[in-house]
Every structure is written in C-alpha cells, then in structure tokens.
Chains A and B, each alone.
Chain A
Amino acid sequence: MQSPGAIEISRRDLLAASAATVTVVSAHSLSHAQTKATTESQSTKVTFKVNGESRELRLDNRTSLLDALREHLHLTGTKKGCDHGQCGACTVLIDGRRANACLTLAVMHEGDSITTLEGLGQPENLHPMQAAFVKHDGFQCGYCTPGQICSSVAMLEEIRANIPSHVTRDLTAPAEITSDEIRERMSGNICRCGAYSNIVEAITEVAGRKA
C-alpha cells in the first residue's frame, strides 16, 4: 500500500493538475495492476448534468464524484472532510436525493443530474435555506455548511415524501417536521464547531414550523 506520505504528495500534485503529474500517477498505478488493465481501460468517459449544465469528462475510474466536482469542474462549494462518508461535508443531490459525493465514483453517474451548493443559490440569489443559515448563524467556521445546506434541503423533501426516520413514532402515519425529526435526519452531517442548535432553527424556519 501507499505510505501516508505518498498519498499526501499525489493529492497535492492533483491540485496542481499538471499533465506530467497525471502521467506519473498512472504509471505508478499500472505497476500495481494485476490484469490486462491499460491506461485506456482505467479511465472512462462520463456525461452528467451538474447544476443544470451538461458536462462531459474522461476520468480515471478511481475519481470520486466529489473529486470530479472539485478538481475537474472546479466547483469547490462541495467540501472534502473525512472522505469516508462519516462527516457529510461532501453532501450533494443526485437526481434530487442527498448522497455523500466522496463514496461514489463519478463514472457511475452517466446521465444523472447532480446539484451542488452552487446550484441551489448564488450570493445575489440565495436559496431560502442559505438565507436562513445566515440569519440564524447556523455555522461558525463554515466548512460543513455546504453539506449541511444540501442535506437539509433534501431532508425536508424526504419528510414531504413521507419517508420515515428512526424517531418516527408511527410508521403508518404521515411523517412530521419536528425538532427531533430534524436532529435525527441530519445526523449524517457533523459540525465540529457545534452550531447544531442554530442549524436546527434555520431548518425549522424554512420548514415553516417553530422548533
């Protein structure tokens, strides 16, 4: 396996995104490949919509949707936190449903519609959830915020679609928007600054109910 140092170097090199670096990474990978794999077969062309715009990319198969968005399409609103599906900072909407962009391969999303924070709202035209996060101080450092906002927008849709949660008392009754429901349903988004109570207030306001 790669040493932590080697991983660090390749990540920095990827940020630099020089052609030379890409070649080095591919050659290194090839030395590990057990099968007929060639540089050609280790990359795939994929076309998907991002924030309404069709994008076509040829990507190393290993590229996560998160890295495709950040490093290839330069949509850096989506954040990389843990890169293992534990923190929720990379939450985006795939065909309207929230998902961890770090735990899915970009090449698996042929034809899909991806929405990132940039697609929800812009500085001059904030999404109501963005405006509510600002109003209620639903963040401190702000790193988890894009994931929190994407997640909360989709989460309210899940309640409207009557998808139950762990704290839903009656599985056969319509799902309700309560503070307990919001907290449970947002448990996949970690905020290490601990802005949770303000996040719940922001979401509650958008949901149209008092906490």
Chain B
Amino acid sequence: MRAFSYERPASIEAAAQAAAGMDGAKFIAGGTNLLDLMKLEIERPTHLIDVNRLGLDRIEATPEGGLRIGALVRNTDLAADERVRRDYALLSRALLAGASGQLRNRATTAGNLLQRTRCPYFYDTNQPCNKRLPGSGCSALAGFSRPLAVVGVSDACIASHPSDMAVAMRALDAVVETVRADGTTRSIPIADLHRLPGDTPHIEHVLEQGELITAVILPKPAGGKQIYRKVRDRASYAFALVAVGAVVQPDGTGRVAIGGIAPKPWRKEAADAELPNGAKAAAAKLLEGARPTDDNAFKLTLVERALSAVLSEARG
C-alpha cells in the first residue's frame, strides 16, 4: 500500500473543501472496497478524508412521504430499518443479498453506490485494463468474461457494476444528494449517477473531485410486490451473474432494474412498459443492443428466465 496522510474533518463542508484542493485525496467511509484496492495499489490516494463521524448516519422521513438515507448509514442498518422493510422491501432484500454480515456492518450507502467493478482484470495488475490504466487495453474482451457486462459496454470495457443495493435504488427512483467544495448542493437521479464506459471507462460517475454524497432520497413508497432475485454461483456471499429487482403492481404494471449485466444498474422505460406483456417482451427491451461475449451470452437467457420467475412470484 502506498503511504498517505489522513484527516478527520469536523464538518461536511470541511470534508468537501479538503478533497477539492487535492487531486490525490479520497473520502473513506466503510473502506471495505477502497482498502482492498489500496492494498493491491489499484487505488493510490495520497490523502484520506475520514467521513465517518459527520452525522450522516440517520434515516429520516421526508415531507414528501419518502425517506432521506444518510450517506453513512451502514448496509445492515438500512436493511433492518422498519420503514425500509415495510415500504421498500426491495431495498432490504437487495442489501441482504449482498456481501457478508461483517461487510454489511461497515459498508455504507454512498460507498456501496461508488464501489468499483470486480472484473478479474481490473484486479489483476499484471494484465492490461483500460479502467485501471487508461489506454492499456481490455483483457476481458477475449478473456474470462463470464461475470461481466452484456449491455452498455464498449470496445474499451465490459466491466459490470457489482452492487445489489444500486439495483434496488434504481428501481425505486432514488435521488443522490451531494455537496461540493463551494458549499453548493445538487440532486442527481440515480439513473444519471453512473457513466457508461465509452472510451473513458476509468471515469465511472458524474461526481466532481471533492463532491461528497450526503444522502440518498427515496420517493414515497411505490407499493406493489417488491422482489429481488439474485442468480449467482453459490447461495451466499457471491456477486450476481444476473439480479432482477422489480416492483410489480396488482394490474401487472411495474418497473424492473437488472444487476450483473451492465456497467450500471440497468433499467429501460420501454422494458417497464412491456412488463404487463411478460418477461420475454420486457427482457427484449432491456437487452436491446446487447454485445455479449461467448462466455457471458448465457446472461441473455438468464435475464428473461429470472424475470419470468419474478413476475410469476409477483402474481402469487
């Protein structure tokens, strides 16, 4: 691990200012992904800003009837919150499907959204990777690509986004609140938070240097049946090959987001519109323009089948 300096700022504003003035600075919250990557020297911050004690760990009701989830709320606490279990079961289910008890106790809401891909070539510093070392090439395209993305990919990168929680947040139309170094705030719909790789796969989100996520806002409860179905290589503690997060209303309408198949949680309005017509029609819209490899083409079938299982469960 490279050496770095460390500070624990006293306020949110001070944290954003400290980070804005230094290119090598990074925020650290749970650290479960960042420290892993720092040990491998894939992440090499020169300065860490500890945001753990800034009072961002509360879940509050919003005047609109939704929830304001502090950026530092731990995954365990978010999944266990009574309001989330009752009104946003999809979010509880997605969180509980991810990682381990130990990791969920540390991992935070904002950190979960910004965690980086588990593409094996991103992790293997002996291999070219455009995300880790821009311009070096993509080893995954002709390599072991079974866990990787089939839609939203580019010639430069086929890494998949690993988060379960983000899939639920996408289906629930969450909005990310941030503060910048100059004190200004902004609200970013989760659909717009992550960027597709294009020819700059190392740029994964729209946040500026020093911009700190302070909360994630959930709109008022969506109702319906909320189901998260995760397909993976073992029953627990594994990343998704395909995950379906869906909210299905009694009349068959609803919304669906997919994990494990794209560089960001994947949702298409056209697919939502097709939900009443069944999994095949909706999956076709979700997978439009897919560019699978030989290794991960099975995901195209798996998306349709997992969605079919979810819709059938929703019909009860």
Contacts and interface: CB of A to CB of B under 8 A. Distances in A.
A122 interface: no
B182 interface: no
Contacts of A138: none
Interface in B1-22: 1-6, 8, 22
Interface string A90-130: 01001001111001110110100000000000000000000
Given A35-B5, A61-B5, A105 B28 contact: yes
Contact of A164 (B32, B36, B96): B96
B160 interface: no
Given A2-B41, A85-B36, A98 B6 contact: no
Given A171-B89, A172-B86, A188-B237, A162 B46 contact: no
Interface stretch (B101-109, B134-142, B145-153, B193-201): B101-109
B106 A100 contact: yes
B102 A164 contact: no
A185 B103 CA distance: 11
Interface in B87-132: 89, 92-93, 96-97, 99-103, 105-106, 125
Given A61-B48, A100-B103, A104-B31, A35 B8 contact: no
B91 to A, nearest CB: 10
A54 to B, nearest CB: 19
Interface in B34-51: 35-36, 39, 41, 46-48, 50
A166 interface: yes
Interface of A: 1-2, 26, 29-30, 32-37, 41-42, 44, 60-62, 64, 83-85, 88, 91, 94, 97-100, 103-105, 107-108, 110, 151, 154-155, 158, 161-166, 168, 171-172, 183-189
Closest 3 interchain pairs by CB? A188-B100, A29-B3, A187-B236
